[in-house]
Structure 1
Amino acid sequence: MANTRDEPQLQPLHILFLPYFAPGHLIPVTDIAGLFAARGAMCTILTTPVNTDIIRPAVDRANAANLRGVGSQPIVISVLPFPDVGLPPGMENLKSVTPSHGAEYHVKFVQATQLLREPFDQFLATTRPRVDAVVSDSFFAWSTDSAAAHGVPRLVFLGSSVFAWSCSETMLRNSPLEAANCPDEPDALVLLPGLPHRVELRRSQMLDPGTRPLEWAFASGSNTADQKSFGEDMAKRSNACSPDVVDDCLRWLNTKPVGSVVYISFGTLTSFSLAEHREIARGLDLSGKNFVWVLSGSEDDRSEWMPDGFTELTGNNDRGFLIRGWAPQTLILSQPALGGFVTHGGLPSRPVPSPKSKDISVILGMDWLMENGVVINCGDKTVSLLNSIGGHIVFQGDKYTLLEIGLELNSLKEVKIEEIPVVNEFQDVFPKELPSMPPDSEIEFTIDLIPGTSLPK
Structure 2
Amino acid sequence: MAPGHMIPMLDMAKLFTTRGVKATITTTSLNVPIVAKAIERTKTRGNGVVKIDIQTIEFPAVEAGRPEGCEATDSRTTHEKMSTFISSFKMLRQPLEQLLQNHHHPHCIIADMAFPWAIDAAAKFGIPVLVFNSTSIFSTSAGVSMRQYKPQMEVSSDSEPFVIPNFPGEIKLTRMKLPTFTDNKYVKAFFSDFAKEVGESEVRSYGVILNSFYELEPAYANHYTKVCGRKAWYIGPSGKESSIDKHECMKWLNTKHINSVVYICFGSLSNFSDPQLMEIAMGLEASEQQFIWVVRKDKNEKEDEDWLPKEFEKRVKGKGLIIRGWAPQVLILDHEAVGGFVTHCGWNSTLEGVTAGLPMVTWPLFAEQFFNEKLVTEVLKIGFPVGAQQCVELCGNDNPIKKEAIEMAVRHIMEGEETKEMRSRAKELGEMARRAIEEGGSSYSHLNALIEELKALHS
Between the two proteins, the alignment pairs up a number of residues equal to 354
Task: Please tell me the root mean square deviation across aligned C-alpha atoms, in Å.
Answer: 4.0
Q: Which residue of 2 aligns with 1:192?
A: 164
Residue matched to 1:363: 361
1:94 has 2:73 as partner: yes
Q: Could you tell me how far 1:273 is from its partner in structure 2?
A: 4.2
> 2:200 is paired with a residue of what secondary structure?
helix
Distance 1:53 1:281 in 2: 36
1:325-364 equivalent positions in 2, closer than 5 A: 325=326, 327-329=328-330, 332-346=332-346, 348-351=348-351, 353-354=353-354, 357=357, 360=359, 362-364=360-362
Partner of 2:68, secondary structure, is coil
- In structure 1, how many angstroms separate the alpha carbons of the residues matched to 2:405 and 2:32? 45
Q: Give the structure 1 partner of residue 2 of structure 2.
A: 22
Aligned pairs for 1:110-149 (under 5 A) are 110-128=86-104, 130-149=105-124
What SS does the aligned partner of 1:244 have?
coil
Please show how residues 259-274 of structure 1 align to structure 2 within 5 Å. 259-273=259-273
Partner of 1:262, secondary structure, is strand
What's the counterpart of residue 18 of structure 2? 38
Q: Deviations over 1:264-300 (max 9, x none)?
A: 1111111234565566456546655322233448569
Q: Secondary structure of 1:232's match? A: strand
Aligned-residue offset at 1:166 = 2.2
Partner SS state of residue 245, structure 2: helix
Q: Deviations over 1:375-434 (max 9, x none)?
A: 87589x8569xxxxxxxxx999549xxxxxxxxxxxxxxxxxxxxxxxxxxxxxxxxxxx
Alignment-derived partner of residue 78 in structure 1: 55
Task: Give the distance between the partners of 2:90 and 2:298, measured in 1 at CA.
Answer: 27
Gaps of 5+ in 1: 1-20, 385-393, 400-457
For 1:172, the equivalent position in structure 2 comes to 147
Pairing of 1:32-431 with structure 2 (within 5 A): 32-65=12-45, 67-68=47-48, 72-83=49-60, 84=62, 85-95=64-74, 98-99=77-78, 103=80, 105-128=81-104, 130-178=105-153, 181-182=154-155, 184-206=156-178, 212-235=188-211, 236=237, 238-239=239-240, 242-245=243-246, 252-273=252-273, 276-277=276-277, 280-281=280-281, 284=284, 288-296=288-296, 298=298, 303-305=303-305, 307=308, 319-320=320-321, 322=323, 324-325=325-326, 327-329=328-330, 332-346=332-346, 348-351=348-351, 353-354=353-354, 357=357, 360=359, 362-365=360-363, 367=365, 369-371=387-389, 398=416
- Cα separation, 2, equivalents of 1:297 and 1:58: 24
Q: Measure the CA separation in 1 of the matches of 2:346 and 2:286.
A: 26
Q: How much has 1:77 moved relative to structure 2? A: 2.0
Shift in Å, 1:258: 2.9
How far is the alpha carbon of 1:301 from its aligned partner?
8.2
What letter is aligned with 2:67? P
Q: Equivalents in 1 of 2:263, 2:43: separation in Å?
A: 30
Letter in 1 for 2:89: T
Q: Residues 58 and 188 from structure 1, CA distance in 2 versus in 1: closer, same or farther, beyond 3 angstroms?
A: same
Distance 2:20 2:329 in 1: 26
Q: Tell me the percent identity.
A: 28
- How much has 1:170 moved relative to structure 2? 1.8
Partner of 2:393: none
Relative to structure 1, the CA distance from residue 79 to residue 355 in structure 2 (aligned partners, 3 Å threshold; closer, same or farther) is closer
Change (3 A) 1:280 1:378: closer
- Aligned-residue offset at 1:30: 0.6
Structure 1: which amino acid aligns with 2:389? E
Contact map agreement 2:163 2:172 (CA 8 A) in 1? yes
- Of residues 118-127 and 162-171 in structure 1, the stretch that sits farther from structure 2 once superposed is 162-171
Q: Is the 8 A contact 1:47 1:78 kept in 2?
A: yes
Q: Which amino acid aligns with 1:25?
A: H
**Alignment partners' CA distance in 2, 1:208 and 1:324:** 29
Deviates more, 1:131-140 or 1:77-86: 77-86
Answer with 1 or 2: which has the greater Rg.
1
Q: Aligned to 2:55, what secondary structure does the other structure show?
A: strand
Contact kept, 8 Å, 1:170 with 1:194, in 2: the verdict is: yes
Secondary structure in 1 aligned to 2:131? strand
Higher relative contact order (CA 8 A, sep 6+): 2
Give the Cα separation in 2 of the matches to 1:63 and 1:214: 41
SS at match of 1:357: coil
TM-score calculated relative to the size of structure 2? 0.65
Which sections of structure 2, spanning at least 5 residues, go unmatched? Answer: 212-236, 366-384, 391-399, 418-459
SS at match of 1:233: strand
* Aligned residue type for 1:147: A
Amino acid at match of 1:338: V
Change over 3 Å in CA distance of 1:239–1:293 after alignment to 2 = farther
SS in 2 for 1:95: coil
Check whether the contact 1:63–1:75 (CA below 8 A) recurs between aligned residues: no
SS at the partner of 2:388? helix
The 1:354–1:250 alpha-carbon spacing in structure 2 relative to 1, beyond 3 Å, is farther
